[in-house]
Amino acid sequence: MTAKAPDWVVAWPTLGFLVADWVAEHCIIPDGWLKGDPFEMYDWQLWCTANHYRVKPKARLGQLAPAFHYRRSQVIAPQKMGKGPWSATIICNEAVGPAVFAGWAKGGEAWDCRDHGCDCGWIWEYEPGDPMATHWPTPLIQLLATSEDQVANVYDPLKSMAKHGLLASQMRVGEEFIRLPNDGKIEVVTSSAQSRLGNPIIFASQDETGLYTATNKMIKVAETQRRGAAGMGGRSLETTNAPDPSEGSVAQRTIESQRPDIFKFHEQAPSSLSYTNKAERRKIHRHVYRGAKHIDLDAIEAEAAELLEKDPAQAERFFGNRMVSGAG
């Protein structure tokens, strides 16, 4: 996709480019200097989107999750990569965008927003042989995090996208949930508010799964939620910093899973590079932050260097994207 990422080559059918274009049309940059501008995915975000929406060449009309190459995705990336806003765009897409496989194009077909409850007039024409998409009829979506504070990583950008721009005509932001067309809903679940667990959902966004452990009972919560989605033909997305391998977290269990139908994104620099050596740390950052053109490696170095003084393991997990144990 770019010279910087020669191994990120999409050579299989996917709805990912339609999804990314739909996102750029409908989702805004939720904060910062460019707030309100179209959300154009960074290369790493586009790569993960293309994979999450990769379609099996033999997918048949009517198949839900089984139409996709991956049953679920796990994205492990360092601080400031833009995981939360990207998760929010995927949630928007599952809510009202082109998320469900809808057969193969013969030629002349298009995604026309007017067929999907949006009067913006946007049209995306399929090439013959492309996988096509439709929206979920009743989109019930859940967002999971350990605490209210953690929920904000994804829920804040999501609320911003839902309130501003084109999505405001289809999404209504409430105190505890976002209302969607056709009795659809986006709900928040935390370790202290699990009453909605077990609801039939079509998508789950599980954020900071490196913090879901047996101690805080979040392993069971995450697995119950995934089962709820699987029962509806839905899928899920895990996002997290590199986990501490001594904690046995949900993130680690996913990393260790041998199942081939989980997309795992976890860029790692060569292990020969030492995180405590400044020059080598620079190389590690250059490696793990690739595909994120907004990142200033000097700013990352400054933050990493300060955290290294107090908690070197956490610095290496947060900014080096490495699974290392210990908390200082």
Summarize as ranges the residues that interact with Zn ion (CB under 5 A): 113, 118, 120, 122
List b or e across 169-206, with b for residues whose CB sees 16 or more CB atoms inside 10 angstroms: ebbebeeebbebbeebbbbbbbbeebebbebebbbbbb
User: Tokens 């996102």 map to which residue?
Assistant: 23
Distance of alpha carbon 201 from alpha carbon 212, whole angstroms:
20
CB of 127 to Zn ion, least distance (A): 21
Choose between 50 and 113: whose C-beta lies nearer to Zn ion: 113
Structure tokens given for 3 = 């010279």
Choose between 9 and 123: whose C-beta lies nearer to Zn ion: 123
CB of 110 to Zn ion, least distance (A): 12
CB of 117 to Zn ion, least distance (A): 9
Choose between 178 and 308: whose C-beta lies nearer to Zn ion: 178
DSSP per-residue letters across 107-120: SS-EEEGGGGT-TT
Q: Residue 28's closest CA among 156, 124, 154, 166?
A: 166
Q: Report the helix count and the strand count for the chain, using DSSP H and E.
A: 9, 12
CB of 13 to Zn ion, least distance (A): 23
CB of 22 to Zn ion, least distance (A): 8
CB of 114 to Zn ion, least distance (A): 8
Choose between 118 and 180: whose C-beta lies nearer to Zn ion: 118
Choose between 59 and 113: whose C-beta lies nearer to Zn ion: 113
- Beta strand residue intervals within 15-169, DSSP E: 72-76, 100-104, 110-112, 123-125, 131-134, 140-144
Choose between 158 and 307: whose C-beta lies nearer to Zn ion: 158
CB of 97 to Zn ion, least distance (A): 9
Choose between 90 and 118: whose C-beta lies nearer to Zn ion: 118
CB of 138 to Zn ion, least distance (A): 19
State the amino acid at position 140 in one-letter form.
L
CA-derived radius of gyration, the chain: 19
With a CB cutoff of 8 Å and minimum separation 6, the contacts of 7 are none
DSSP per-residue letters across 244-313: PTTS--HHHHHHH---TTEEEEE----TTS-TTSHHHHHHHHHHHTTT-TT--HHHHHHHHHHHHHH-HH
Distance of alpha carbon 47 from alpha carbon 229, whole angstroms:
23
Choose between 22 and 44: whose C-beta lies nearer to Zn ion: 22
